[in-house]
Structure 1
Amino acid sequence: MYSSRCVRSGMLRASNSVNVPQPQSIMSKRRRDAAAAAASGPTPKRLKLIEVIDVDAVPEVIDLDAVIDVDADDGDAITLADSPPIQLPSGPPPGSYEARVRDKVFQRLEAQKSKIGEVAEVGIIESLYMENFMCHDRLALDLGPKLNLICGANGSGKSAALSALQIGLASKTTSAGRGGSLKTYIKEGKTYAVVRVTIKNQGEDAYRADVYGSRIIVERRFTAEGASSFKIFGTSDTGERHSKAVSTHRSELKAICDHMNIQVDNPLNILTQDNARQFLAASRPDAMYDFFIEGTQLGQLSRDYIKSQDGIHQFKRTCDAHRDNVVADAKASLEEALLKLDVARKAKNLHDEKEELQRELAWAYVHDERQKVEEATKPLKKCRKRIEQMEKELQKAQAACDDASKQLTALRAQIPSFNPADEESATLRHKITDMKRDLDTLDADIKACNADKDASDRRIADLQARIAKENEKLEGATQKVMEDFQTRLSQKQEDIKRSEEGVDRAKRAVDTLEAKREQAIAAGKTATEEKARAQDEIQRLQQAIRNAEQQQKDALAVFGPNTANILEDIKKTQWHGSRAPIGPLGMHVELVDPTYGSAIRNLLGRVLFGYAVADLRDMQRLRQILARHRSSQVTIAITDVDVFDYSAGEPDEGVPTILRALKVKDDWILRVLINAHRIEAFGLAENLHAGHELLNRVGKLQRVLTRDERRILRFPGGGWETNAMRRLLRNDPRQMLLKSAPEVQDDLQCVDAANVAESERQADENARTSQTQLEAINRSLSAARNTLQQRGRDLSAHRNQLLRIKEEAKAAAPVNISGLEDAVTKEEADGDSLVAQFTTLVQRRKEVEDTLLPLVQQLPELRNRQQLVEETVHDARRKLNEAVEFHAEKEKNVQYWTAKQRTEKKTLEELEPHVDALSKQLKDWTANASLIVDEKEFPRPRPIKELETRIEVLKKAVAAQEREQGATFDEINRQVIAAREKLGKENDKSRILYEICRALESSLRLRESLWFRFRRGIAIRCKWLFQVHLHTRAFEGKAIFNHEDATLELRVHPANSEDHSPIAKGKRRDDPKTLSGGEKSFSTICWLLALWDALACPLRCLDEFDVFMDAVNRRVSMRMMMDAAKASDQRQHILISPLGLENLAYSQDTKVFKMDDPTRQQAI
C-alpha cells in the first residue's frame, strides 16, 4: 500500500535520524505566499506548494522502498484476470528508481491475479439509514464489506446514499453536492431529517472497544429551522444499540474518523455526482494536478510543513532575542559585581577584628549566665525538700482516710436495701382487694335473685285470681268437691303466707345487720387507713429528719448513700469524651432566690439528680457504675461540651427567670439545664394572674413557673395551657435540693411530730372500736341467718303440701282450671328455686367474709414488723452518719496536706520554669558559642560592657564603608556568585534553544526531502498503474507530471490506431479531448483506479461514473472496478449507476441494491 498514512509514519521514523546532510533550502518566498493564501481561502489552481529540487541529489538516508512498499498486500490490488499478459512498454533506463518502481508494480500485479482481499475489521460502513432525507421517507441499506452496487432510474434517490453518508459523518454540506445548507436535504413537506450510519469497530485497531463495542452508530438529526445534533451510540455484545448515547459532540465523531482514516471530505474517496462529473470533465492540467495533490493528502502535508517552518523562524527569532538581551545583561551585571568586590575587600580587615571581638563576647555572655543559674537553683532545692516532707505527712493522712472509707463502706453494706414486710403487705392488700371484689359480685347476685322472686310472686297471684273466677262458674256436685279443695288450699296458703312473712322478717333482719356490718367495715377501713396515713406521715417525718441531719453532715447524702463511691469510680475510669462525666448536677447549682425554691425543685429535681456525659460511648460505662451502686434510675444527659452563647434567648434585665434565680458553678452544667428546660427563657411569677401578665408583657418568654407550682405555656399560634405540678411529698429527696444549711435547720424546727403521733393514736383507737362493733354485728348476723334458713325450710314444707293438694284438685277440676293450676305450680317451683339460690349466695357471702376478716386483722401486725425494720435501718444509718463524720474529718486532713503540698508545688512550678529557662538559655548560649569558637581560646573573657563598646566602634566604621558600597562584603560576594550562576544558566539556556532550533530545522528539511520522494514515488506508481489499466481495453497512454508548474496531463490513444504511430506522436492527436465520450470516461476511470491505489481511506465511493460510457467501455470499466474491489484488502467500494446491471457477473462479495422507479405525476 502507498498512502498518506504511510507517508506520515515514514516522516516520523525519518525524524529520529541524526547527522543528516542538509539539503538545499526549500523554504522560499513562494512557499510562504502559498501558506498565506491557504490560510486566507481555497488553494489557487496553480499553487506550487513546495519548491521543486533535484530529488536524486538528496542522500538516501532511509530506504524509500521500505516506506513506499510497492509489494505491500494491504492496499487496493489491481488484478488482470481477464486481460492479456502485461507487456512492459518502453520506459526509463534499466536500474533507475522509476524502473525499480515499475518492475515491482508489475510483479505485484502478476502475483495478485487470483487473490481475494481480506475484509476490514475497522472503518467499514455496515448500514445506512435515512428518514425524510431528500426524496426518501425511510430507506435502510445494509451494505456489504467489499463491493456495493446501487442502481436505479434517474430520480430514484441513488445519490442520496452518498449524500447521507457524508452528512452523517459530519462532512461539509458543500462537499455533498446539494447546496450549502442542511435544510436543502430535508424532504419537501417535512420538518426534520435523520441519518444513521453504522460503522464496523472490531479487531485490534478498534476505537475504544470497551465503550463502543463491535459497532459504532452515528445518528444525526437536523430540522428545517436549522438545528442539528449528533448522537454516537455503542453496541452490546449481542449487537443491540445502547439506550444511552456515549457522546453528542462532533469532536468525538472527528476522532473516530481520524482513527479509522475515513476522509469524507477527500474528493477522491467519495465522488458525488458533481465531483464525478467534474473529475471526468477535468481536462485542464492544473485541475488534474490539484486532484492528484489533494486526493493523496500531499497538499495538506505540505501546508503543515509551511506552518512548521514559520514556527521555527519565530522560535529562532526568540533565541536571537534571548542571546542579545538576556545573556548580554547577565554579562554586564557580572562585570559590575566584580568591580564592587574589589572595593569591598579593603573593608574586610575591620570586619574581621569585629568578628573576633564578637566571638569573645559570646563566651562572656555564657560566663555571666552561669552565675545567674547558680543563684536561681538555691531556692529550688529548698522547695523540693519541703515537698518531700509534706508527701510523707500526706501518705499518713491518706492511709487514715482509707481506713475510715473502708469502715464507711462496711456500714453502708449493713443497711438493708429490701424490706420483706413491704412485699408481704402488698401481697396481703392485693388479696383483700380481690375478696372485696368477690363480695360486691355476690351482693349484686343476691339483689338480682330478690327481684326475680318478687316477679314470680306477682305472676302466681294473677294466676290464682283467674282460677277463682273459673271456680265461680262451676255448679252441681263438682262445686262442692272443689270447695273442699279450695278450703284446704286456702288454709295451706295461709300457712305459706305466714311462713313467707317469717322469711321476709328474717331476711330484713339479715339485710339490716349486713348494712350495719358494711358500715362497721367501712368505719374500720377508714380508721385503719387513717392510722396507716398517720404512720406513713410519721415515717416521712422521720425520713425527712434523717435526710436533713444527713445533709448537714454530708453534702452528698441528699443524692443517695452511694454517691461518694460513684464519684470515686468516675475519677478512676478512663473516658472517651473531652471531659469526664459530671454529676450529680445539683452539687454544682445553688438557689439565689429561695422565693420560688419549691417550684424550681419540683421542675428541675430529676435533672439535678442526674449526670451528664460528653460522648455517647461513655453512657453505657456510666450506667454500669450507677447500677453497681444501685442508682440505675438516675437520668443521664448526653451533650457536647459546647459553651455556646445563650444571651439571645434571655429577656430584658429585671425579668425574673429560673436562670437568674440560680447560681450554676459549671458552664457545661448550665448549658445542660438550658437544653433540658430552656431556663434562660423560663419566667417566674407569684401566681397565675401575674404569670399571664408576664407572658403578655415579655415577648421572648414562652413559659412561666408560678410560686404555687403551676406551669403556664403560651403556644406560638396563640392560646394558653396551664398545668398544675404534682406536689412533692415531705420525705421526697428532691425536697432537700438547693437548700442551704439554715434552710435545712428551719425544716427540722417546723416538723410537728407530736400532732402526728396524736393522730396516729386516735386513729388506732377508732380502729379498735370499729373492730369490736364489727364482731358483735357478725354474731347477730350469724343468728339471723340461721333463723332465715329455718324459715326457709318451713316455707318449703308448706309449699310441698300445697303442691299435693293442688294435684288432687287438678284431677277433679275442669281442664281450664287444671291448666291454670299447672302454671301456678310451675311458678311456685321457680320461686322455690330462687329461694334455694338466694340461700346459697348468702352462705357464700358469709364464707368470703369469714376469710376476709383474718386478712384485715393481719395488716397492723405487718405494719409493726415494717416499723421494726425501719428502726433497725435508722440505727444503722446513725452509725453510718458517725462514720461519715469521721471519714470527713480524715478527708479534711488529706485536703489540708494536699492543699499545702499543692501550694508548695505551685511555688516549685513557678521556680522551675525560671531555672529551666535560665539553664536552657545557658545550654543554648554555650552550644552557640562552641559553634563560633572553642572555649579554650577565651577561658577568662573580658567584661561584656568593654567588649560591646569596642564592637560598636568597629560596627560604625564597617557601616560607613558599607554605606559607600551599598552592601556588605558577603552580600557583594553573593552578588558576584549569583551573577556568574545567572550568566552560566542563560548561556546554557541559549545554547539549548539554538540546539533545539537546529534540530527542528534538520528534522523539517528531512521531512521535506522525503515529501519530494513520496510525491515522486506516488506519481511514478500512478503513472504505471494508469498504463496497466488502459492496457485492459487495448489503449495506450501516459501521465505527464510537471511538478514545477503544478500540471498533470493524460495522453491516451488506442493501441492499434495508425494515427498514433510513433511517427505521428508529435501531432498531439493523443489529447483526451479527441477521444469519444465512452473512451474518455474509460480513461478517466483508469486514472481514478490508479489514484485509489495510493489512498489509505477504507472507503471508495463513485456516483454515475458510467453515464457517458458506451456498453463496451462500461462493461470493461465495471469489471475492472469489481476485480479491484474483490482483490483489495480492507477496502469497501460503493458504486452508483443509473444504468442496468443485468449483464454483469457478480461474486459472493458483491451486493446489489435496485432503487424503485420514481413516481411521476401525469400532466393533465
Structure 2
Amino acid sequence: MCHQKLTVDLCRNVNFISGQNGSGKSAILAAIQICLGAGARRTNRARNLKELVRKGTTSNCAKIRVTLLNKGDDSFKHDVYGDSITVERTIALRGGYNGYKLYGADDVEQSRSKKDLDEMLDKLNIQVENPVAILDQEEAKKFLTGKDTDKYRFFMKATELERIDNTYGSTMEQIDEMKHQAYRLEESLDTDKELVVETKKAYKQHQEIGKLESKKAKFETQASWSAYRTMLMGLKGKMQQLELFEAKAEKKQKELTQAEAASQDADNPNDECRDRLDELSNEADKMSLRKRELEVELKNLTEPRSRFKSQFKVLCKEEKQADRYLLEMNQRLQGKRDEIVKKAGSAESEQAQRNERLRDAEERLAERKIRNDELKQSTTDLLQSYEKVEPEVQGARQNVSQLEYQVRGIDSKIRGMESSSGNSLDVFGHRCNKVKQLVDRATQQRKFRGPVLGPVGFFCKVQPGKEEFAALAEAAIGTGALDRFVVFNDADRKLFQKIRRDAGCQSDCNVFQQSQHSRYNIPEAPQGVETVASVVTIENDLIFNCLVDNAKIDQKALARSKEDSEANLLDKDNHGRHCIRGGKIKEVFLLPHGDNWKVLKGGKLVMNANSRRLKQSIGVDRTAAIEEAKEEYQAMNEELKDLNREYNRLEHEHTDLKKRWNASKKEMYKTNKEIDQAKKDIEDTKAQESESAEMEVDTTLEESDVAEAQETLDDVKEKKGKVQEEMKKLMPVIAEKEADVAEISARNEKVLVDIKNAENELTQHYHALTQQKEKLDKTRKRLEQYTELVRVHSAEIEEAEEIANTCLRSARGIQFNCENIERRRKQRDAKEGATGDTQVSAYSQEPTDEDLENVQIPDNLDNLKETDYYLGKIEQANTRIEREKERRLENSDDEDAAYDKYVRAKEIYLAKKDQISEIDSVSKQLDADMANRRTRWGHYRDYISGFSGNKFDEILNIKGSAGTVQFDHDQESLNLIVQKDAFDEQSQQKDVKSLSGGEKSFTTIALLLALGEMLETPFRVMDEFDVFLDPVTRKLIIDTLIQVGKAMSHRQFIFITPQDVSNVDSSPMLKVLQMKPPERREVAGAPVQQVIEFS
C-alpha cells in the first residue's frame, strides 16, 4: 500500500497507533488481516491482492511477516516452532511463489501449507474474519447505522453463534439425506426379494440336469483312464526293444570308455604345461638377475675380509721374525748352558745329557710351530680361494646352460622361417603360419562362434619416426605375447586349443580370451614421454583392448636412457617417497639393453637389468628376420664358446685348489702330532731335572732375553688371534651369502632341468596323444552306429512317453474336475440348508500341477473296458442332457452360473436389509443428539445475550449513561436503548440514529467491549474507534480502553486513531507508535504534526 518497507514492534498488552490520514495506519491492520489468511475484499480496500501492493514499485513481489507469541499450555506445536511463530505471505506481481510460509523461533522455514496455517489459527483462536476481533474503518462506520437485523447478524457472527448454527444446519441436512437413502433402499427391497426367488428356482432346475452330467463325467473319467492304459501297453513293448539296443551300445561304450580313459591320463596338460614353461623361463630370468645381485653383495662383504687377510700376512711376517729372535735367544741360553756343562765336568754329565735332550726338543718344537703356522695360513688361503671359485663355477655352468637353450630356440626359429614359403607370420614363430591356416579353415567351416584374431604381432605396426623404440616396445610387451591368438568365448578357446595340438604347438601360439567391446579410451602419455601404445600402432580395436588388458601397453613407458626417464617421470610425493608422474605409468623400459625400473608401494625404487638381447619382430619382413636371427645365432655361438672356455678354466682351477687344500690339511695334521710329541719330551726332561740337584749357574740374563723374546712373540700371536677372530665373525655372513648364491645357482640349474623335462614331456605327450587319438576315432565310429539305433528308439519312446503323460494328465484333469463338481454340489447343498454366508469355496479354478499329482491312478486299471465303449456311453449321456435342457430351461446358463446368480441376489437382498437397519439406528441417535445440542445452543445464546447487555450498561455507566440491549431471537433483531443520563429516564433514546456522532462512537465502543468479553481471541484490533468523540469523552474512552486492556494482561490490544495521543503515557504494558506524516504533506508552509518518538 503506502509503505515501501515498514517494521512495527508492538507491546504485548496495549498499543496505540496514531498518525495523520494517509500515513499508513490502516495499512498495518490490512497487513495483519492479509498475512493471517483474510481475502482482499475483507479489508474493504481492494478487489484482489495485487491492488494492495504499493504503486510504482520495481520489486517482483510484496512480503508481509507477522510474528506471534507461542508460549504456554495452548501453544501450537511448540516442539517444532518454539516460542514464536512467524507467518510470511508473499504476493507475486509477475510470477513466482505466491502463498504462505511458516517459520519457527530460529527463523527456519517449517511449512508452506495453508492447512497448517488454518490449524495454527484455530489452535490459537485467531479470528481475522470476526469484526469484534479486528474492526476496520468500514465495519466501524456502518455498525450503528445499520438495521436491527444487521446488528443481530453482527452479534451472531461476533459471538461465533452463527458458525455453530450453520454447522448444525449442515448436519441436519446430512441426516435427512441418510433417511431419504433408507427410503429408496426400502422401495427396491421387494424387487430384490423377487429376484432371489427366481434365481433359486432356476438353480433347482439345473441341479436335476447336474445329476445327468455327473454320470457323464464318470464315463469320461473311465474313458480317459482306458486310453492311458492303452498307451502304457504300447510304451512297454517299445522299452523292451530299446533295452536290447542299449545293451549292445553299452558294450561298445565300455570299449570306448577304456580307450578314452587311457587317453585321459595323458590328455592335454597343454595350457598348464605351457604356462609352466613360461613360468619357468621367467623364473630363470629372475634368478639369473638375482644371482648377479647376490654376487655383487658377496663381493661387497668379502672386501673387509681381504683387508684382514692383508693384516694377517703382515702379522705372520712379524711372527716369523719374533720366532727367529726367540730361537737366537734360546741358542744363546743353550750356549751358556753348554759352557756351564763343560765347566761342570764329568760330575754333571747327566745334567748335560738332560740339557742336550731339552735343547733338541725345544728346537724341534720351535721348528714345528713355525711350520704349523705356515700350514694354517696356507690351508686358510686355499679354502678361501676354493670357496671363492666355487660359485663362479656354478654361475658359469648355469650361463652355459641358459645360452645353449637360447641357441637351440633361435636355431629352431631360423629353420622354421627358412622352411616356410615366405610367409610374414613366421617372424613370430615357425608354427604361426600353420596355426593361422587351420584357424582360417575352421572359420570357413563356421566352427567358431565368434571372431578369432591372430597372431597379435600381425596387427602391430611401428609409428613412423619411432623405429628406434620398436625392439624396446616388443620387450615391454613381453615374451610369448605377439605369437598368441585372441578368442572371445570358452567354446572357441577349446576349439583353438585343439587346433594348436593338431599343429604340434607346445609353448608357442598360445591364446588370449577377451570380451568384445568398443576401443578403450586410454589417456595420452605425458609430454616428452613415449609408451608402448604411442610407439606401436594397432588399428584393430579388439587387439588393442587385448594388449591393454594383458600387456598393459598404456602403463609402460619407453625412454632412451635412465637419466632421461628419471628427469621426465621420476618424482617425489608429499612424504618424500618416490613416485612416477604421468597418471597410469607403472613401469619404465630403457634403451639400449631393455633394462627397466618401477616404484613399488611405499615409494621403493626397483631397477631390473635385462640380460637378453633386444630383438624386433614388429614391422620386420621375413628375409630381414632370418638375417637378424642368423646374426643373433652366430653372436650367441661365439658367446657360448667364450663361456665354455671360461667354464673349463674355472673348473680346472676349482679342482686344483681342492687337491692342494686336502694335501695341506694332511700335512698340518702330521705337524700337530710332532708338536705334541716335542712338548711331551720337554716336560719329561724338565721333570727329571727338577728331581736332581741343581748346580749354581748364572743364566739370568739369557733367560730374561728369552722371556722378552717370548713376550714379543705372544703379543704378535695375540694380535694375529684378534685378526683371525674378526675374520671369523665375517665368515658366517659371507658363508650365508655364499649359501644364497649356491642355493639360487642350484635352483636355477634345477629350473633349466625342469624346462628341459617339461619340453620333453610335452613332446612325448603329443606323440602318444596322436596314436591314442587314432585308436579312439576307430572305436568311436563303431559306437556311433549303435548310438544312432539307441537314439532313434529313444526318440520313439520319448514321444510315446510324452503321449502317455499327456493322456495321464488329461485323465487326472478329467477326474479332478469330476470330483470338483461333486464337491461343489455337496457344498452348495450344505450351504443351502444353513443360515448366514452363502458363499461357496472356489473349486472352479484350473487345477495346479500339485493338484494333478495328488490324483491317484485307479487300482482297477486293468479291469477297464476299451475306450470306444465309454465313448458310446458319453454320447448317449449328451443326448439325454440336451433333451432335458430343452424341456426344463429357458436360458443357457450352467449349474455354476445359476448358483452364482442365486448367491449374488441373496447377498444383495440381505446387505440392503442390514444397511436400512443401520441407517435407521444411526439417524435416530443423530436426531436425539442434535435436539440436545440445539437446546444447549439456545441456553448459550441467552447467556451471551444477558451478559452482553449487562456489560454494555456497565461500560455506559462510566460516562454517566445507561443502556440495554434488546434481543428478539425469533425476529433475529437487536436494538440498543441508550439513556444519556443514568438518572433521567426522559433522556432515554430508543433509536441510536438520533444520537450525536460522539455518542454513537462511545455506544459502539461500549457494545464492542461487551461482546469482546466473551471472545477468547489472543489479540483485538480497532481502527478509528474515537471518531466524532469530544475531547472529554475521548479521554474517558481511552482511559477505559487502557484500563480494560491492562486488566486483561493475557491479551493484546491494538487501537488505531488519527487523533493525537500525546497525553497517553507509555509503560511496560502500553506503547504508543506515531506514524510519520505522508510525503504529500511535507511542503513549505504546510502545518506540521508533532511526532512523539517511543522506544
Map Cα deviations across residues 432-479 of structure 1 (whole Å, 9 max, x no partner).
xxxxxxxxxxxxxxxxxxxxxxxxxxxxxxxxxxxxxxxxxxxxxxxx
**Counterparts of 2:146 and 2:975 in 1: how far apart (Å)?**
8
Moved more, 1124-1133 or 1093-1102: 1124-1133
Aligned equivalent of 1:152: 19
**Counterparts of 1:411 and 1:295 in 2: how far apart (Å)?**
103
8 Å CA contact 2:455, 2:485 repeated in 1: no
**Among 39, 57, 67, which residue is 1:198 paired with?**
67
Superposition deviation, residue 1114 in structure 1: 3.4
8 Å CA contact 1:331, 1:983 repeated in 2: yes
**Among 202, 216, 231, which residue is 1:354 paired with?**
216
Match of 2:241, SS state, is helix
Size of the aligned set, in residue pairs, is 677
**Among 409, 413, 421, which residue is 1:540 paired with?**
413
Root-mean-square deviation (CA), in Å?
5.9
Aligned equivalent of 1:404: 266
Identical-pair percentage = 21
**Counterparts of 1:347 and 1:394 in 2: how far apart (Å)?**
67
Match of 1:401, SS state, is helix
Superposition deviation, residue 293 in structure 1: 1.1
**Among 981, 986, 996, which residue is 2:912 paired with?**
986
**Counterparts of 1:349 and 1:954 in 2: how far apart (Å)?**
11
Aligned equivalent of 1:637: 514
8 Å CA contact 1:202, 1:209 repeated in 2: yes
Superposition deviation, residue 139 in structure 1: 2.9
Instruction: Tell whether 2:977 aligns with 1:1051.
Output: yes
**Counterparts of 2:624 and 2:249 in 1: how far apart (Å)?**
48
Unaligned runs of 5+ in 1: 1-132, 428-532, 549-555, 564-582, 619-628, 642-669, 678-723, 733-750, 768-867, 1061-1066
Map Cα deviations across residues 142-181 of structure 1 (whole Å, 9 max, x no partner).
1122221223345543333212322333533333243545
Instruction: Tell whether 2:130 aligns with 1:266.
Output: yes
**Counterparts of 1:1024 and 1:632 in 2: how far apart (Å)?**
117
Map Cα deviations across residues 1051-1094 of structure 1 (whole Å, 9 max, x no partner).
2326751436xxxxxx9656545655545433332221121122
Moved more, 195-204 or 1047-1056: 195-204
Aligned equivalent of 1:512: none
Superposition deviation, residue 1000 in structure 1: 5.3
Match of 2:67, SS state, is strand
**Counterparts of 1:315 and 1:614 in 2: how far apart (Å)?**
77
**Among 883, 886, 890, which residue is 1:960 paired with?**
883
Match of 2:488, SS state, is strand
Aligned equivalent of 1:335: 197
8 Å CA contact 1:602, 1:727 repeated in 2: no
Superposition deviation, residue 1101 in structure 1: 0.4
8 Å CA contact 1:607, 1:635 repeated in 2: no
**Where does 1:928-1007 land on structure 2 (aligned, <5 Å)?**
940-964=863-887, 965=889, 966-967=891-892, 968-995=894-921, 1004-1007=930-933
Alpha carbons of 1:159 and 1:1072: their partners in 2 closer, same or farther (altered >3 Å)? same
Match of 1:196, SS state, is strand
Alpha carbons of 1:1095 and 1:190: their partners in 2 closer, same or farther (altered >3 Å)? same
Instruction: Tell whether 2:1034 aligns with 1:1114.
Output: yes
Aligned equivalent of 1:167: 34
Superposition deviation, residue 953 in structure 1: 1.8
Map Cα deviations across residues 241-286 of structure 1 (whole Å, 9 max, x no partner).
45xx76677676555544543322322211122222333x346422
Alpha carbons of 1:316 and 1:630: their partners in 2 closer, same or farther (altered >3 Å)? farther
**Counterparts of 2:966 and 2:490 in 1: how far apart (Å)?**
97
Alpha carbons of 1:1073 and 1:416: their partners in 2 closer, same or farther (altered >3 Å)? closer
Superposition deviation, residue 1045 in structure 1: 0.7
Match of 1:142, SS state, is coil
Q: Which amino acid aligns with 1:958?
A: I
Aligned equivalent of 2:1006: 1086
Aligned equivalent of 1:1135: 1055
**Counterparts of 1:289 and 1:1038 in 2: how far apart (Å)?**
14
Q: Which amino acid aligns with 2:14?
A: L
Match of 1:542, SS state, is helix
Alpha carbons of 1:1033 and 1:229: their partners in 2 closer, same or farther (altered >3 Å)? farther
Map Cα deviations across residues 90-132 of structure 1 (whole Å, 9 max, x no partner).
xxxxxxxxxxxxxxxxxxxxxxxxxxxxxxxxxxxxxxxxxxx
Superposition deviation, residue 377 in structure 1: 3.5
Aligned equivalent of 1:610: 486
Superposition deviation, residue 1041 in structure 1: 0.9
Q: Which amino acid aligns with 1:1020?
A: G
Instruction: Tell whether 2:768 aligns with 1:883.
Output: yes
Alpha carbons of 1:383 and 1:1040: their partners in 2 closer, same or farther (altered >3 Å)? farther
Aligned equivalent of 1:777: none
Alpha carbons of 1:1125 and 1:407: their partners in 2 closer, same or farther (altered >3 Å)? closer
Instruction: Tell whether 2:6 aligns with 1:139.
Output: yes
Aligned equivalent of 2:619: 726
Superposition deviation, residue 1127 in structure 1: 3.6
8 Å CA contact 1:1040, 1:1050 repeated in 2: yes
Superposition deviation, residue 1035 in structure 1: 4.1
Alpha carbons of 1:1030 and 1:926: their partners in 2 closer, same or farther (altered >3 Å)? same
Superposition deviation, residue 141 in structure 1: 1.0
8 Å CA contact 2:63, 2:90 repeated in 1: yes
Moved more, 937-946 or 327-336: 937-946
Aligned equivalent of 2:555: none
Match of 1:1105, SS state, is coil
Map Cα deviations across residues 290-316 of structure 1 (whole Å, 9 max, x no partner).
210122232234334444444444454
Superposition deviation, residue 1047 in structure 1: 0.7
**Counterparts of 1:409 and 1:158 in 2: how far apart (Å)?**
98
Alpha carbons of 1:296 and 1:950: their partners in 2 closer, same or farther (altered >3 Å)? same
Alpha carbons of 1:1144 and 1:638: their partners in 2 closer, same or farther (altered >3 Å)? same
Superposition deviation, residue 973 in structure 1: 4.0
**Counterparts of 1:636 and 1:601 in 2: how far apart (Å)?**
16
Unaligned runs of 5+ in 2: 290-405, 422-428, 447-452, 461-480, 495-505, 519-539, 548-616, 642-752, 820-855, 1087-1095
Superposition deviation, residue 959 in structure 1: 1.4
Alpha carbons of 1:158 and 1:728: their partners in 2 closer, same or farther (altered >3 Å)? same
**Where does 1:779-818 land on structure 2 (aligned, <5 Å)?**
none
Aligned equivalent of 2:354: none
Superposition deviation, residue 891 in structure 1: 5.0
**Counterparts of 2:242 and 2:773 in 1: how far apart (Å)?**
34
Map Cα deviations across residues 675-700 of structure 1 (whole Å, 9 max, x no partner).
999xxxxxxxxxxxxxxxxxxxxxxx
Q: Which amino acid aligns with 1:196?
A: R
**Counterparts of 1:545 and 1:181 in 2: how far apart (Å)?**
102
Aligned equivalent of 1:3: none
Alpha carbons of 1:138 and 1:1019: their partners in 2 closer, same or farther (altered >3 Å)? same
**Counterparts of 2:1023 and 2:272 in 1: how far apart (Å)?**
114
Alpha carbons of 1:236 and 1:304: their partners in 2 closer, same or farther (altered >3 Å)? closer
Aligned equivalent of 1:46: none
Aligned equivalent of 1:589: 443
Q: Which amino acid aligns with 1:1101?
A: V
8 Å CA contact 1:273, 1:1103 repeated in 2: yes
**Counterparts of 1:673 and 1:184 in 2: how far apart (Å)?**
75
**Counterparts of 1:1005 and 1:985 in 2: how far apart (Å)?**
30
8 Å CA contact 1:333, 1:979 repeated in 2: yes
Q: Which amino acid aligns with 1:199?
A: L
Alpha carbons of 1:228 and 1:166: their partners in 2 closer, same or farther (altered >3 Å)? farther
Map Cα deviations across residues 963-1015 of structure 1 (whole Å, 9 max, x no partner).
45124455434433332233223333444455555555555555444433332
Q: Which amino acid aligns with 1:637?
A: Q
Q: Which amino acid aligns with 1:888?
A: K
Superposition deviation, residue 330 in structure 1: 2.7
Q: Which amino acid aligns with 2:28?
A: A
Q: Which amino acid aligns with 2:25?
A: K
Q: Which amino acid aligns with 2:946?
A: I
Moved more, 308-317 or 927-936: 927-936
